[in-house]
Amino acid sequence: MTKKEKAVDYYKHGFNCSQTVFTAYKQDGLDEAAALKLATMFGAGVACTGKGLCGAVSGALMAISMKHGRGDVKSVDAKYKTYELGKKFMDDFKKKNSSCICEEIIGINIGTPENLKKAQETKFFETKCFDAVKSACDILEELL
């Protein structure tokens, strides 16, 4: 199973956008349960506020950082490489999805109970969010 297929499978089983992307692309050394827990907070526009970064973007940025990030104070080059890859990811994601912000992608702020219900009824999570997860994976395949 490819990493993209893993992410799609996680999503179909009810994990949020951030969890699916990060867990599928995490590096060895972090187990699945820990990855799923770590990424939980970043779903649905960060803490289900709908206002922040798309969870698929957050999950992808965490995966990039886990692979290339700065692990000690002397690794300044790693920090800048990670920033560069993150910016590239966000630029590419925005081209494919019109934005990196949850609310702008799905067209509604899901941070209120009424709007969350509306998004569920109109199946935004099965369409727009699912597409965001898949495009995040496509971009990660090129960058990692």
pTM of the complete model: 0.95
Nearest in space to 59 (alpha carbons), one of 85, 36, 87, 80 = 36
pLDDT at 27: 92
pLDDT at 57: 98
φ, ψ of residue 31 in degrees (nearest 5): -75, 165
How far is the CA of 143 from the CAs of 43, 48, 65, 76, 139, in angstroms?
Answer: 22, 27, 12, 20, 6
Give per-residue pLDDT as tens, 34-82: 999 999 999 999 999 999 999 999 999 999 999 999 999 999 999 999 9
How far is the CA of 99 from the CAs of 38, 51, 89, 112, 128, in angstroms?
Answer: 24, 12, 12, 21, 12
β partners of residue 53: 101
Nearest in space to 20 (alpha carbons), one of 69, 58, 65 = 58
β partners of residue 101: 53
Give per-residue pLDDT as tens, 81-134: 999 999 999 999 999 999 999 999 999 999 999 999 999 999 989 999 999 999
